[in-house]
Each structure stands twice: as structure tokens, then as C-alpha cells.
Chain A
């Protein structure tokens, strides 16, 4: 079986390289959308969790716990089938439904990243700022957040890496990502292993280079500390 491995690999690449590139593009797009909106929503959730208003913080806590305590695949199914029924007037595409589910999932993890980043800032910083007369909001914006960002950014980068891998679950709904392309190629060439190797290599190149970039960035943050 493996005698034809390399020739087959060559044929797969030659015939379908365009599809793989396109799939990688969709995967990156989906991941980028997820992390971007996940970060916005997650930051809002983190602030809600810190709120003194019990219903507000309670809602955010419940949201985070439920999302983190259930499988992403289940959430994808749920939103995929539920959103079009719930909001038929929006005419949401498959891609949009999947993206929304991913954003909601990621926001729960980002919420915890932001919260941990804020908590890691020495409480003495808050006390010093409040003692000078800054109010809570000024202290958060001018003193705590600028320091928390240094903890948050690298963790967000790692979340990006995780999301790139998780978007493969979205291929269940054929949204054009890398894994979707794998299914297409497998179906048309009757080859299982070779396209999988190609797709795996592309995932690895994406995540590995991103991780390296994050590490370099993190080192620079440390130096400027």
C-alpha cells in the first residue's frame, strides 16, 4: 500500500493544491473572525464577571461555565440548526452560523484569559492608583489594563492556535475550511491517507509558525517590562 505513497502524494498536491490553499484561507479567515469577535465579547464578559451587580456577574459566570463545560461540536450543531430557525429573517449562511458558534465558544475562553490577565496585576497597583484619587474606571483603564495586556496578548495568541485546530470541527458542515477540502479530495481521488498528510502538514505549518511568532513577541514584551 505504501509503495504508492509518494507518487500519490505528488498527484494529490499537483491536482488539488488550489483547493488546499483555498481551504487554508477559509480556516484562517474563520479563525481570525473567531478570535477577533471572541476577544471583544470575551472582554465584555470579563468586565461583567467583575461587576458588583450580582445578576450581571452571575450571568457571565453561568455563560462561561456552560460553554466551557459542553463540547464544541455540540455547540456547533446547536447553533447550526437553531440560529436559522430562531432568526429566519437574517438568512444566515452556513458559514455565518458556524462562525457565530465558534465566536461564542471562544469568548468563554477569552473571558478567562482576560480575567486571569487582570488578576495577575499586583493589587498594590490598584491601591496606589485609588490612593492618588483615581476612580475605579480610571484605575482600570490607565493602570491595570495596560499592564494586563502584557499577560493577555500572548495567551490570546495561543487561543488563536487552538482555534485554528478547532475550526476543523466546522468541516462537519462543509464550510470550505481545510478539513472540508480534505473530504472533497478524499471523495474524488479515493485516497484517504495522502490528502490527510497534506492537510495535517498545512495545519502544522500554520500553528507552528504562529506559535514561534508569539514566543518572539512575548520575549519582546518581557524585555520592555
Chain B
């Protein structure tokens, strides 16, 4: 589904991603772990070209997104993204947050979009919040809204960048539960996370990033129980305590 070839990214003289080649298959659930500053967010953001790669290619459904003339907006519709800080739209109601893009970009009739939104809201336990403004929601509710907003576009893949890192501890579970539900239903997912228990439980594959490279990868059992790379060992030693 996504094929990354020789992807590099620099900010000025700072090399953040170094020649990454990787493939994401349909239905895979990939956790990306690694120390802060190792390039996890940049990697994820290069997949939908929020960051423009310095060199290399990102193929999505066979199309090289880095080529000039590619309608990136159309491809982004199929790649949902959820951010650490939710980024819900504060000037819109919960319902408007969800229906804005489908109505504007997919030309869905408003009534259909709203019916679908209600279904999605029910799925994440926010049925009673449809007419609220986001300022009335807790952090966990905002993040669930952000997930629903992305799902309303029927994406083929979901990208999560530390979706629980900005949450109070008691709200982490409700958001992880929603992601877990998605994953169970077969959504292709890439998630940057510090929740090692979650990564171990839900992912089909774990990527360990270090200094702009994928330093080690494999099934979660291997990475967590039997890491090979000394940097992976060191990192897990620090976070798994």
C-alpha cells in the first residue's frame, strides 16, 4: 500500500531521515518506537507529504507522491492522520468538525455525512456530543473526535503521531481502546507511540528508529523480548521499567 524508497529528509544541515526504504502492506499495524528526536514524526509526516522529502520516493497505491503534478490533496483524503495535540477545529461543532471534509471534498449530501458521523460517534462513545463545541470536551474526547474526523473520509490507512502523549493518564485508555477497535477491524495503521504495552499487544510489526534510520524491526515479540541492536536494548531498558 505504501512503499518508501531511499527516503531522506534534512532541515537545513540537520539530517533527520537517512535513506529509509520500507514497505507497508494492506492490513499491517506498525508501531514506530525510538528515542525522542530520532525522526519518528518526520517519517510519518513524509508519508502524506506534510514534510516534503529532500530525496527519495513515497509510493501510495502505486503513485509516487513526491512527483511534481501529483494531486496530493486527493491522496491525502485516503490517509487519515491524528496528531499529538488533537488539532480539532475550535470554531466548529463536533458534527461540523466531522462533516466538513466529506461534504466539501467528497460531495457527500449533508444528511448522509451526518448520519455517518453519528454512526462513528457512537462507535467511539461520543453520541451525546454531536452538537457540542470542542472546548467543552476533555482531552480524551477531543482526540476521539480527531480520530472520527479522519475516519469520516474513509481512509485506507491511519497515521497516528503519539496520539496519547498529550493526555492526562486517566484518558489514555479510552483513546487506545478506540485505536485498538480500528485495528481489529482491519485498518492499516502506523502509530508512533511511547505506549510499549500497547505496541506489543496490537502491532503486527514494530520499527525501532534511531538517528534517522530504522535501526531494527520485527514482530513485537522479537523486538521486545529479544532485541538484537544494542541501541534497541538501551532504549527498551530505559522505557520498560
User: Which of A125, A133, A134 gathers the greatest number of chain B CB atoms within 10 Å?
Assistant: A133
Note all chain B residues with C-beta closer than 8 A to A14: none
Q: Which residues of A contact B80 (CB under 8 A)?
A: 131
Size class of the contact patch on chain B = 20 to 34
Contact: A125 with B89, CB < 8 Å?
yes
**CB-contact partner of A130 in B50, B89, B100, B135, under 8 A:** B50
The contact of B104 among A125, A130, A142, A146, by CB within 8 Å, is: A142
Contact pick for A147, options B74, B90, B153, CB 8 Å: B90
Q: Please measure, in the bound complex, the distance between the C-alpha atom of A70 and the C-alpha atom of B149, giving whole angstroms.
A: 49
In the complex, B128 has a CB within 8 A of chain A = no
Q: From the candidates A125, A133, A143, name the one contacting B105 in the complex (CB within 8 A).
A: A133
Give B67-85 as 1s and 0s: 1 = Cβ < 8 Å from A's Cβ atoms: 0000001101101110101
Selected from B73, B79, B85, B87, the residue in CB contact (under 8 A) with A135 is B73
Closest A residue to B45 by CB, please name it: A127
A128-B73 in contact (CB<8A): no
Assess whether A125 is in contact with B76, with CB atoms less than 8 Å apart.
no
| A125 and B86 alpha carbons, distance in the complex (Å) | 9
Is A132 in contact with B105, judged by CB distance below 8 angstroms? yes
B8 to chain A, nearest CB (A): 22
CA distance A130 to B74 in the complex (A): 10
Interface residues of B in 68-122 (CB under 8 A from A): 73-74, 76-77, 79-81, 83, 85, 87-91, 100-101, 104-105
Contacts of A131 in B (CB 8 A): 48, 50, 76, 79-81, 150
A residues 110-159 with Cβ under 8 Å of B?
122, 124-125, 127-135, 138, 142-143, 146-147
A129 to chain B, nearest CB (A): 8
Closest chain-A Cβ to B21's Cβ sits at a distance in Å of 24
Residues of chain A within 8 A (CB-CB) of B153 are 132-133
Flag if B104 contacts A134 (CB, 8 Å): yes
Q: Which residues of A contact B85 (CB under 8 A)?
A: 124
A130 to B146 alpha-carbon distance, docked (Å): 14
Q: Is the interface of A mostly helix, strand, loop or mixed?
A: helix
Contact partner of B74 among A124, A128, A133, CB < 8 A? A133
Cα separation A135 to B104 with both chains bound (whole Å): 11
The answer for the CA separation of A47 and B37 in the assembled complex, in Å, is: 34
Task: Please determine whether B83 and A133 come into contact, CB atoms closer than 8 angstroms.
Answer: no
A133 x B50 contact (CB < 8 A) = no
Cα A127 to Cα B76 in complex, Å, equals 11
A133 to B49, CA, bound (A): 12
In the complex, the answer to whether A128 meets B87 with C-beta atoms within 8 Å is yes
Contacts of A128 in B (CB 8 A): 81, 83, 87-89, 146, 149
Contacts of A127 in B (CB 8 A): 50, 83, 87
The chain B residue sitting closest to A142, CB to CB, is B100
Task: Give the interface centre of B101, B135, B146, B150 by most chain A CB atoms within 10 Å.
Answer: B101
A154 CB to closest chain B CB (Å) equals 16
**Chain B residue, CB-CB nearest to A138:** B104
Q: How far is the CA of A225 from the CA of B91 in the complex (A)?
A: 7
Q: A138-B104, A225-B135 are in contact. Are A130 and B87 (CB under 8 A)?
A: no
A121-B79 Cα distance, complex, nearest whole Å = 24
Closest to B49 in A: A130
Q: Are A225 and B76 in contact (CB under 8 A)?
A: no
Partner of A132 from the list B77, B90, B91, B135 (CB cut-off 8 Å) is: B77
Q: In the complex, are the beta carbons of B90 and A225 less than 8 A apart?
A: yes
**In the complex, which residues 78-135 of chain A have their Cβ closer than 8 Å to any Cβ of chain B?**
122, 124-125, 127-135
Find out whether the CB atom of A134 lies under 8 angstroms from the CB atom of B101.
yes
- The docked-state distance in angstroms from the alpha carbon of A135 to that of B146 is 19
16 interchain pairs, CB-CB under 8 A: A124-B87, A128-B81, A128-B146, A130-B50, A131-B76, A131-B79, A131-B80, A131-B81, A132-B76, A132-B105, A133-B73, A133-B74, A134-B101, A134-B105, A143-B89, A225-B90
Please name the 10 residue pairs, one residue from A and one from B, whose CB atoms are nearest each other, closest first. A133-B77, A128-B87, A124-B87, A132-B101, A131-B81, A133-B76, A146-B91, A133-B73, A135-B73, A133-B105
